[in-house]
Amino acid sequence: MNRKMNVNKSEIYERCFKEITRKIEGLDINDKMNMICEILKEKIPYYFWIGFYFPKSGFLELGPSRGPPACVRIATTGVCGKAAKERRPVIVPDVKAFPGHIVCDPRSKSEIALPVFDSKGDIIAILDVDSEELGSFDETDQKWLEKILHCAFSDHERNSAIFDE
Ligand code: SME
């Protein structure tokens, strides 16, 4: 368990999940993403940065986020790119040990990235979360973030105004 984390992760995520489902009802994709970032960044003590990256042709572009300024365009060679290419969550306990990791802020030490799927199973975005401590993310984070993303976006379809692929 993380130094800043003296309460049960699942309890915090459960509260966040309830708040998110209540507050995103009827919102569009961007507003939902903003609300998810807002609530999770505010409520989860080890979240240093959270944001969504949209897949473009050959790179990823920053969407809604909270935390210190991050890279606006990133290559698909890092953690987010791996989550997109392999269509699965990627947990990185130590970013220095991940070949290809893209440094946006040197304070980030561990990371989780998850694909966001739409109703057809296409990838809408990648959700990326960074922590200032090593080993912050585990299967509990993955399970709850997948649940939040599924609840928020699985009834949407990719919007061609946002995506240029
Ligand atoms: N570390 C990510 C880049 C995004 S930032 O962490 C905000 C990566 O390797 O894809």
pLDDT, tens digit (0-9, with 9 covering 90-100), for 35-66: 999 999 999 999 999 999 999 999 999 999 99
Q: Residue 156: what pLDDT? A: 86
pLDDT band at 86 (very low <50, low <70, confident <90, very high): very high
- Residue nearest (by alpha carbon) to ligand 1 atom 3: 102
> Ligand 1: which residue has its CA nearest to atom 1?
102
Long-range residue pairs from 134-138, CB within 8 A, at least 24 positions apart, any chain: 134/93, 134/94, 134/109, 134/110, 135/2, 135/93, 135/94, 135/110, 136/2, 136/5, 136/46, 136/109, 136/110, 137/91, 137/92, 137/93, 137/110, 137/111, 137/112, 138/91
- pLDDT at position 158 is 75
pLDDT of the residue at 152: 97
Predicted local distance difference test score (pLDDT) of residue 159: 63
With b for 16 or more beta-carbon neighbours within 10 A and e for fewer, the 91-105 pattern comes to bbbebeebeebbebe
Is-above-0.85 flag for pTM? yes
Summarised one tens digit per residue, pLDDT across range 89-133 is 999 999 999 999 999 999 999 999 999 999 999 999 999 999 999
Q: Tokens 């009834």 belong to which residue?
A: 155
For the CA of 103, the closest atom of ligand 1 is 1
Work out the mean pLDDT of the chain and round it to a whole number.
Answer: 93
Which amino acid residue places its CA nearest to atom 6 of ligand 1? 104
Nearest ligand 1 atom to the CA of 104 is: 5
Give the binding-site residues of ligand 1, using a 6 Å CB cut-off: 49, 70-71, 74, 78-81, 101-102, 104, 108, 111, 128, 130
Confidence of residue 157 (pLDDT cuts 50, 70, 90): confident
